[in-house]
Amino acid sequence: MECLISVKRTHTRKMETSGKTREAVLVKDFTVVPIKFEESSCACHNIYFKEHSLHREDTKPKGRTLFITNIPPYCTTEVLHRLFSQFGNIQAAFFSEDEKPQNKSRRNKIQLKNSFIENISTKGFKTAYVLYRDKNSIVRALKASYDKPFIISTPTQPVLTGLRKWQKEYEVKHTDWNELQEEIDEYMKGYDSSLSKKIEEEKEKEGVADEEGWVTVTKHGKLKPTSRTEVNQRKLTKKDRKKKKERELLNFYTFQIKQEKQDRIAALRQKFEEDKVKIAQMKSARKFKPY
Site for other proteins in 267-286 (CB under 8 A): 268-273, 275-283, 285
H/E element, 216: none
Which of left, alpha, beta for 249 (phi over 0: left; psi -120 to 50: alpha)? beta
Which C-beta is closer to other proteins: that of 53 or that of 102? Answer: 53
Distance CA 112, CA 224 (A): 41
Comparing CA positions, the residue from 38, 23, 33, 36 lying closest to residue 69 is 33
196: contact with other proteins by CB under 8 A: no
59: contact with other proteins by CB under 8 A: no
| Residue 291: CB minimum distance to other proteins, A | 6
Distance CA 245, CA 248 (A): 5
Distance CA 45, CA 37 (A): 9
6: contact with other proteins by CB under 8 A: yes
Distance CA 166, CA 212 (A): 65
Site for other proteins in 88-127 (CB under 8 A): 112, 115-116, 122-125
H/E element, 32: strand 30-36
- Contacting other proteins (CB under 8 A), which of 222, 228, 244, 247? 228
DSSP-based three-state secondary structure for 131: strand
| Residue 67: CB minimum distance to other proteins, A | 9
User: At residue 131, what are phi and psi to the nearest 5 degrees?
Assistant: -100, 120
Which C-beta is closer to other proteins: that of 19 or that of 290? Answer: 290
DSSP-based three-state secondary structure for 188: helix
Q: Where does this chain touch other proteins (CB under 8 A) — which range of 25-33, 96-104, 214-222, 242-250? A: 25-33
- Contacting other proteins (CB under 8 A), which of 219, 239, 241, 287? 287
5: contact with other proteins by CB under 8 A: yes
Q: Where does this chain touch other proteins (CB under 8 A) — which range of 56-64, 66-74, 204-212, 243-251? A: 66-74
The CA-CA-CA angle for residues 104, 109, 114, to 5°, reads 95
191: contact with other proteins by CB under 8 A: yes
Parallel, antiparallel, or unpaired for β 30-36 and 150-151? parallel
Which C-beta is closer to other proteins: that of 103 or that of 178? Answer: 178
72: contact with other proteins by CB under 8 A: yes
- Contacting other proteins (CB under 8 A), which of 15, 32, 139, 142? 32
15: contact with other proteins by CB under 8 A: no
- Contacting other proteins (CB under 8 A), which of 77, 161, 202, 206? 161
